[in-house]
Amino acid sequence: MILCANFKANKTRQETRAYMAVVESFVSANDISDTIIVFPPFTALDHDPRNVLIGVQNAYPVQNGAYTGEIALEQLEEFGIKTILIGHSERRHVIGETQEQIAAKFRFFADQGFAIVYCVGEPLEVREEGDAALLSYIEKQFEGIDLSYGDLILAYEPVWAIGTGLTPSNRDIELLHGVLRGKTHAPLLYGGSVKVENAGEIMALENVDGVLVGSASLSANDFCEMIAQAAELNTEEENN
């Protein structure tokens, strides 16, 4: 399993250090073998991780240069960052990134050997049009994206479920993940109102290889509980 915590624009550097201490201690104490990735804000990238990967929520696809307000490869290299989140719906729908820009970012960081968590998902009006419209919408988010890239992790996040407390039905999650599995061998994550109460059930679904968690991951104890649920699922699979 892969479990990702996306802090977005939350937590200070001090709060992130305290959070990481809790999660890293839990991972060590429970001999967790799953991949755990935390995406803190830029100001908290100076943590020296032990058994949890640190990723960046965004970066500009250049070594360095005159790009006011952006973080480039040169800055990420200073912190040893080799994992990036690309295509998140908030970058698409709030910041206004186009598919062309997202694809250029993907190509640049793939060329640099980054592990890429690439996000796709649909708004509510598309979901309400039915499965055909949904799949067509998702397909456009693959334009310019190398789905055979070896360090790709693909995350399905329905836009209407992010931060709303709403989630698709298990049938809908399995449908989408089944389609995605036919396109790539990359691990498939689900994101969108994942929380302690539903994380285990979601991770147990077919073709779901983990979760990308937003607001519910801001509590270190809650995120640790989700990690524990994944470990329990692993044990159940081994015993079957």
Centroid of chain to Cα 25: 22
Q: Which residue has the tokens 């539903």?
A: 198
Phi-psi region of 120 (alpha: psi -120 to 50; beta: other; left: phi over 0): beta
Would you list the DSSP string of 68-82? TT---HHHHHHTT--
What value, to the nearest 5°, has the Cα angle with vertex 91 and ends 23 and 38? 10
Enumerate the active-site residues. Answer: 88, 157
* Separation between Cα atoms, residue 114 and residue 102, nearest integer Å: 15
Structure tokens at 105: 């970012």
Contacts of residue 26, Cβ cutoff 8 Å, sequence gap at least 6? 32, 224, 227, 228
Query: Residue 41's CB: how many other CB atoms inside 10 A?
Result: 17
> Phi, psi (5° rounding) for residue 144?
80, 5
Give the three-state DSSP class for 117.
strand
The answer to whether the beta carbons of residues 196 and 232 sit under 8 Å apart is no
